[in-house]
A and B are shown apart, each in its own frame.
Chain A
């Protein structure tokens, strides 16, 4: 059974760089894309970007200047870095398995990693 687990710093101060890891267990990265999605306290979901198992990346045009995604196929991990965080980046960050192409939906989600940006 494939499971996703996010890990991150928890608390950041403004202007720092956020680094998140999504560890995939019970399966591999192959054949899927892996999306990052965040949810602010107001409740809305926002798609951040995705990385395919071949390394190709799609980014949100709202955030692309600040985000970098990568993956380590040997460790079944994907990574998200976001620079120059502000309070507006406070959210729960999810990674999700992206059934891209003819499906285009998220069939598995991690439990989420709460990131708080405060001085």
Chain B
């Protein structure tokens, strides 16, 4: 099972909106509404910011939102802030009988 495909880098100015795509397949993103997104700052462990495609765990700012269409999930940051710089990874459940989870390739977000 291949990694989910994300753009390597996305940038935006403070206050702008950016969207990160996460392209999978019918075996993962397309079948399960179990896509999560993680933010990782340098030298730190990832932290979950979106679960189950569009749910915000407690503590996730409302400017982060998630969606899914077909085999592609998306993370949107509305009103980009300097503290949003970092790496973002999507992850999809892929079924218990095979590879349970598959991660995306990761996207570096830069705030200009």
Residue B100 at the A interface, CB < 8 A? yes
**Residue of B whose beta carbon sits closest to that of A58:** B100
**Residue of B whose beta carbon sits closest to that of A94:** B45
Residue pair B52, A103 in contact (C-beta under 8 Å): yes
Set of chain B residues within 8 Å of A45, measured between Cβ atoms:
38, 46, 89, 91, 103, 106
Residue B99 at the A interface, CB < 8 A? yes
Residue A111 at the B interface, CB < 8 A? yes
Quick one: which of B57, B101, B106 contacts A104, CB cutoff 8 A? B101
Quick one: which of B47, B51, B87 contacts A103, CB cutoff 8 A? B51
Residue pair B48, A105 in contact (C-beta under 8 Å): yes
Given A35-B101, A44-B106, A47-B99: A105 touches B3 (CB 8 Å cut-off): no
Q: Which residues 32-83 in A have Cβ within 8 Å of B in the complex?
A: 35, 37, 43-47, 49-50, 58, 60-62
Distance to closest chain B CB from A67 (angstroms): 13
Residue pair B93, A104 in contact (C-beta under 8 Å): yes
Set of chain A residues within 8 Å of B57, measured between Cβ atoms:
107
Residue pair A46, B99 in contact (C-beta under 8 Å): no
Residue B34 at the A interface, CB < 8 A? yes
Residue B69 at the A interface, CB < 8 A? no
One digit per residue, 1 when the CB lies within 8 angstroms of any chain A CB and 0 when it does not, for chain B 70-112 equals: 0000000000000000010101010010111111011000000
Distance to closest chain A CB from B22 (angstroms): 13
Residue pair B36, A109 in contact (C-beta under 8 Å): no
Determine the distance from Cα of A47 to Cα of B38 in the docked complex, in whole angstroms. 14
Residue pair B45, A112 in contact (C-beta under 8 Å): yes
One digit per residue, 1 when the CB lies within 8 angstroms of any chain B CB and 0 when it does not, for chain A 96-119 equals: 000100111111011110000000
List the 8 closest pairs (A to B, CB-CB), nearest first: A105-B36, A109-B45, A104-B34, A104-B93, A105-B51, A45-B103, A47-B101, A58-B100
